[in-house]
Amino acid sequence: MLTNITMGQYYPVDSPIHRLDPRMKLVLTIAFIVAVFLVHTIWGYLLILGFVYLSARLARIPFKMLIKGIKPLRMILILTFLLNLFFTPGDTVLVEFWIIRITLEALRQAVFYSLRLVFLVLGTSLLTLTTSPVALSDGIELLLGPLKKIHFPAHELAMMMTIALRFIPTLLDETDKIMKAQMARGADFESGNLISRAKSMVPLLVPLFVSAFRRAGELAMAMESRCYHGGSGRTRFRVLKLKKADWLACGVVALLIGLVVLEGILL
Amino acid sequence: MSIEVRHLTHTYGEGSALHTVALNDVSFTIEDGEFVGIVGHTGSGKSTLVQHLNGLLKPTSGQVLVDGEDLNGEKVNRRALRQRIGLVFQYPEYQLFEETVAKDIAFGPKNQGLSAKEIDARVRHAMSSVHLDYDKYAEKSPFELSGGQMRRVAIAGVLAMEPSVLILDEPTAGLDPRGRDRILTMLEELRAREHTTVLMVSHSMEDMARLATRLLVISEGRLAADGTPREIFSRPGLMTSVGLDIPEAARLCGVLRSRGYNLPEDLYRPEELREHLLRLWKEAAKC
């Protein structure tokens, strides 16, 4: 019922991309986002598309699954496209009637902005699809490590993230179970107007909150009984080390940025 | 009402990396008045199976027929049907949500669209069925009760819809012996009084020995055996081969038989075993 949320859910297969260091993947994803913003022509987007496609192939993630991740964003995409299309000033008029005026520049901008959004989502979902939540928050903690000097709670932040991510599937399962249990008692979650639908959520949300708080309490107790006391002096089970493949990936992304910049200058 | 399951197969996450076959070609028919025990190892597909019986899950292939009608047919009113086939989930106390016990139990009947008077009568009746004193508990918050009491409130919530088939998924899991006994006694009474057909999923062979008239053994998504408890518990090696136990009494009987005691091979209830042992003891005393 609720299992069809694909955006950013870890896809557990083994691939060179999955094995990359999470820190490197994080940095490279940020670099990729920068690259997307540097693109000026359609050729640049083709380059980016090629990069995303090849990465997905290399990560053994079905490209269809990656595309499915964009679906929840379609309203935002359409809105972005339309707003840019109608409200960007330009000179080369393509269509004009009544108060609507579409120019070549506006069309160009609408297409580019929408593509930019699409690629931002594709790039970041590539990161979360290939990196397990635990590895991801490990990476974030290590990258934010230097900020600990100014008393930034990097470890605590990462721990909270790990826990939050860890409990998403649990809570989804729980939601599914409670929903079914209430449906077994004749609850109706699908029909009715907005108000009656909101009301029908009460039998779902109350047990869900109760169980979330119960779980939180139990988890805190379990962590303390295993002597957890925050980040200072904590050693790691998995020590991350940059390997050749990581530098290779770094090189590929550097090349991508180089090409995109070059495209901006030359074309 | 009879429930017929025909070649039921269910696959979770079909076509993805996470796909698992939970049920594989399961067929059986449940008649009126039976007390069917569904047993199986953790992850064998029991819970998946019971969720098919009232249409909460759709079969990947195969059919579930209720009184000869396909449960997943287009014209079937599944909401109404779910009220005739009551399903109590595992740890049902986690689905309580109302301010008071009475209101929570009334949730099902209310969804059935009954009158306030009828709902009140149903709530009182359901509470007495699960041995909860109406005057003492009706206006309490369900979150103030003990675990065993909360579970009985949740079961009352399903009973209040007066289903003709009651399905319970591990109703005694995590309860102390007294809480467990209460639930089992309640089920016995319910069957005696209202002739409700009961299906119960459980890990406890003692519970099954006490209540079931028929056992379905599920192993790795398949129906491994279907028969009376007497047949199933006396078939040597069957239960251990699917990772389950036999009741203590049946095991003790087996050990005594192997040491040469003259006992029938199909004893599984403590009372039966006691009688036979007393007989043997008296015979020995006579000599």
What average pLDDT does range A7-14 have in this prediction?
A: 72
Sign of CA dihedral B185, B190, B195, B197: negative
**Which residues does chain B have within 8 Å of residue A18's beta carbon, measured at their own beta carbons?**
none
What is the greatest pairwise CA distance in chain A?
72
Please give the full DSSP string across B173-205, using - where no structure is assigned: TT--HHHHHHHHHHHHHHHHHH--EEEEE-S-H
Is residue B56 included in any domain, yes or no?
A: no
Q: Which of B13, B17, B112 sits opposite A186 (nearest CB)?
A: B112
Task: Give the model's confidence band at A1: pLDDT under 50 very low, under 70 low, under 90 confident, else very high.
Answer: very low
What are the pLDDT digits (tens) for A218-242?
999 999 999 888 777 777 777 778 8
Assess contact for B201 and B168: CB atoms under 8 A.
yes
Nearest-neighbour CA in chain A from B151: distance (Å): 13
Q: How far apart are CA B167 and CA B161, in angstroms?
A: 13
Nearest CA in chain A to B162: A185
CB contact under 8 A, A188 and B79: yes
Report yes or no: B17 at the A interface, CB cutoff 8 Å: yes
Q: Which of B17, B83, B143 sits opposite A186 (nearest CB)?
A: B83
- Residues of the domain holding B280: 247-287
Residue B237 Rama label (left phi>0; alpha psi -120 to 50; beta):
left
pLDDT at A4: 47
What average pLDDT does range B19-25 have in this prediction?
A: 87
3-state secondary structure of A151: coil
What average pLDDT does range A119-148 have in this prediction?
A: 85
Assess contact for A199 and B72: CB atoms under 8 A.
no
pLDDT at A136: 84
Integer angstrom CA distances of residue B275 from B18, B228, B261, B267: 52, 21, 14, 11
Half-sphere exposure of B95 (CA within 13 A, CB side): 30
Nearest-neighbour CA in chain A from B135: distance (Å): 24
Q: Which of A177, A185, A211 sits opposite B111 (nearest CB)?
A: A185
Q: How far apart are CA B161 and CA B150, in angstroms?
A: 18
Q: What φ, ψ does residue B4 adopt, rounded to 5°?
A: -120, 125
Task: Give the model's confidence band at B36: pLDDT under 50 very low, under 70 low, under 90 confident, else very high.
Answer: very high
Give the β-pairing of B61-66 and A93-97. unpaired
Residue of A166, A176, A168, A173 lying closest to A204 (CA atoms): A176
Q: Which two tokens stand for residue A45?
A: 């987007």
pLDDT at B29: 93
Lowest mean pLDDT among A105-109, A174-178, B115-119, B158-162: A105-109
pLDDT at A8: 58
Q: How far apart are CA B246 and CA A11, in angstroms?
A: 41
Lowest mean pLDDT among A95-99, B161-165, B263-267: A95-99
Q: Is the predicted pLDDT of residue A5 greater than 70, yes or no? A: no
What average pLDDT does range B193-207 have in this prediction?
A: 90
Number of domains in chain B: 1
Report yes or no: A181 at the B interface, CB cutoff 8 Å: yes
What pTM did the predictor assign? 0.74
What are the pLDDT digits (tens) for B75-94?
788 878 888 899 999 889 88
Please count the residues of chain A: 267
Nearest-neighbour CA in chain A from B202: distance (Å): 18
Give the A:B interface size as CB pairs under 8 Å.
Answer: 61
Assess contact for A101 and A93: CB atoms under 8 A.
yes
pLDDT at A144: 86
**Which residues does chain B have within 8 Å of residue A179's beta carbon, measured at their own beta carbons?**
none
Q: How far apart are CA B136 and CA B279, in angstroms?
A: 48
Assess contact for B20 and B47: CB atoms under 8 A.
no
pLDDT at B122: 94
Integer angstrom CA distances of residue A230 from A143, A237, B258: 18, 15, 59
Q: Is the predicted pLDDT of residue A191 greater than 80, yes or no? A: no
Assess contact for B110 and B154: CB atoms under 8 A.
no
CB contact under 8 A, B87 and A207: no
Is residue B274 included in any domain, yes or no?
A: yes
What average pLDDT does range A76-88 have in this prediction?
A: 86
Q: Is the predicted pLDDT of residue A7 greater than 80, yes or no? A: no
Residue extents of the structural domains in chain A: 16-131+241-266, 146-225
Q: Which of A13, A174, A180 sits opposite B56 (nearest CB)?
A: A180
Which of the 8 DSSP states describes residue B246?
-
Q: Which two tokens stand for residue B205?
A: 């062979």
Q: Is the predicted pLDDT of residue B74 greater than 50, yes or no? A: yes
Angle between helices A22-38 and A244-266 (to 10 degrees): 10
Q: Is the predicted pLDDT of residue B60 greater than 60, yes or no? A: yes
Best of A3, A11, A180, A185 to mutate (most B CBs within 10 Å, chain B): A185
**Which residues does chain B have within 8 Å of residue A180's beta carbon, measured at their own beta carbons?**
51, 56, 89
The C-alpha angle with vertex A88 and arms to A83 and A93, in degrees rounded to 5, equals: 115
Q: How far apart are CA A59 and CA A19, in angstroms?
A: 9
Assess contact for A60 and A13: CB atoms under 8 A.
yes
Q: Which of A11, A184, A207 sits opposite B96 (nearest CB)?
A: A207
What are the start-end ranges of the E strands in B55-131? 61-66, 69-70, 85-88
CB contact under 8 A, B82 and A211: no
What average pLDDT does range B258-268 have in this prediction?
A: 86
Q: Is the predicted pLDDT of residue A203 greater than 50, yes or no? A: yes
Is residue B237 included in any domain, yes or no?
A: no
pLDDT at A2: 47
CB contact under 8 A, B111 and A186: yes
What are the pLDDT digits (tens) for B149-187?
999 999 999 999 999 999 999 999 888 888 899 899 999
CB contact under 8 A, B107 and A188: no
Task: Give the model's confidence band at A126: pLDDT under 50 very low, under 70 low, under 90 confident, else very high.
Answer: confident
Q: How far apart are CA B117 and CA A131, in angstroms?
A: 57
Q: How far apart are CA B166 and CA B157, in angstroms?
A: 12
Give the β-pairing of B61-66 and B85-88. unpaired
Amino acid type, A160: M
Assess contact for A84 and A109: CB atoms under 8 A.
yes
Please count the residues of chain B: 287
Greater pLDDT, B41 or A2: B41
Rg, C-alpha atoms of chain A: 23
Task: Give the model's confidence band at A163: pLDDT under 50 very low, under 70 low, under 90 confident, else very high.
Answer: confident
Q: Which of A178, A185, A210 sits opposite B158 (nearest CB)?
A: A185
Report yes or no: A207 at the B interface, CB cutoff 8 Å: yes
Amino acid type, A153: P
Report yes or no: A248 at the B interface, CB cutoff 8 Å: no
Q: In percent, how much of chain B has pLDDT > 70?
A: 99
Q: Which of A3, A184, A207 sits opposite B94 (nearest CB)?
A: A207
Residue A56 CB: number of other CB atoms within 10 A? Answer: 23
Q: How far apart are CA A29 and CA A9, in angstroms?
A: 16
Quick check: ipTM above 0.90?
Answer: no
